[in-house]
Amino acid sequence: MNGRFIFGQRAARAGVAASAAALLVAGAAWYGGAAHAQSSRMATVTTPIAHAIAGGRESYADIVDVASPAVVTIRTDGRAKMSSTQFQVPGDDLFEQFFEGRFGNGRGDGRGNGQRQAPRQRALGSGVIVTTDGYILTNHHVVDGAETISVDLTDGRTLTATLIGSDTPSDLALLKVPGHDFKALALGDSDAVKVGDVVLAVGNPLNIGQTVTMGIISAKGRSTGPGDGSYEDFLQTDAPINHGNSGGALVSMKGELVGINSQILSNGGDGNIGIGFSIPVNMAKSVMEQLRATGKVTRAQLGVTVQGVTSDIAQSLGLKETRGAIVSGVTPGSAADRAGVKRGDVIESFNGQAVHDTNSLRNRVAQSGPGSAADLLIVRDGGERHVTVTLDEANPRVKKG
């Protein structure tokens, strides 16, 4: 299959069809109020709901009642060159893009001459209110290049948002809207999510209005990037996600946010085929906290280039399992170099956590604080040994608001 990864939004013809399956659970539905804002920290939501089917009714309505008000539509406007991954909102400017320079509209002299300015671009995506005082998580690609950002709430209000910070490597951005007592979604634990768990995807696909779809977690730890420096640890889901859902919520059966919807895999790029990807909320929470505190994200760096372990390599090195990351190069003067890591070493675990592949190692290193000590379990010359490294700070690729 020649698949194509789509980062969220691009104009497409919509055909929306969702099939619903039922999950019967006994109990009574409840949910608590949001935590009050404090001057020293964000007004986070900490009380989840317990999913229940009242009177034997097969429904996810109690979860939707909690999640839906926290999911917003984000509309952006700007003159920066729009990424091909954004969903274009139709309008007069779209028409003029095909004929720019031929009309006397300030972009030329009406005859195709003169200096041409970038046309205004409008794009659409989704976002999730994560604190009662108006902080919103969304994708970086939803707001990239925006001059103005508008947020449509489910109660009919439209508010102007401020970009607190945007982190390209994780494709996450943090917005703030004025006000208080917003309906916010509690943050879950994406590490505890299991393959097979039922989830709901909430967003505004194809600008038709807020939509809820249902599916399961199909896989964890997915990476789709072509080695472009992104930090990826996606939750894969078959909950239908389409253009416009980017930045929306992936919600667990506890009514908690477990992922920020980010990408889909599509044969022709025109719609959902049952393979979507969400940024795990644990990664999003870490990025959010740093963006709010400093407007940027700081990550740690080990200073090695690595490659995956194949079955042939594992057999030749006498490894018990086909996992880990082989060190193919060590940067002189780096944390790894100072600790004595050598080319050919196989890193099997990082701080006691198994390294399944190169992506998992990269994510675990990045999420550690620069200057912190880390324990590596490596295989060298057929034997295992522990190496302690003091991590350096990586060169950030961050866009601040």
Catalytic residue positions? 141, 171, 246
Concatenated DSSP letters for 218-280?
Answer: EEEEE----SSS----EEEE-S---TT-TT-EEE-TTS-EEEEEEEEEESSSSS--S-EEEEE
Q: Are 242 and 14 in contact (CB under 8 A)?
A: yes
Largest CA distance in the chain: 74
The residues, ordered by sequence, that sit 6+ positions from 151 with a Cβ below 8 Å of its Cβ are 72, 73, 74, 75, 127, 136, 158, 159, 160, 161, 175, 177
Q: What are the two backbone dihedrals, phi and then psi, of residue 142, each rounded to the nearest 5 degrees?
A: -70, -35
- Measured CA to CA, the distance from residue 278 to residue 218 in angstroms comes to 11
Please return the burial class of 105, using the count of CB atoms within 10 Å of its CB with bins 0-12, 13-18 and 19+. Answer: middle
Name residue 139's amino acid: N
- Measured CA to CA, the distance from residue 150 to residue 77 in angstroms comes to 9
Which residue from 319, 323, 374 is spatially nearest to 350, judged by alpha carbons? Answer: 374
Name residue 136's amino acid: I
- Measured CA to CA, the distance from residue 56 to residue 50 in angstroms comes to 15
With tokens 């299959």, the residue in question is 1
Q: Which helix (H) or strand (E) holds 367?
A: helix 358-367
- What phi-psi label fits residue 300: left (phi over 0), alpha (psi between -120 and 50 degrees) or beta? beta
What are 234's strand-pairing partners? Answer: 222
Which residue from 71, 401, 76, 128 is spatially nearest to 285, judged by alpha carbons? Answer: 128
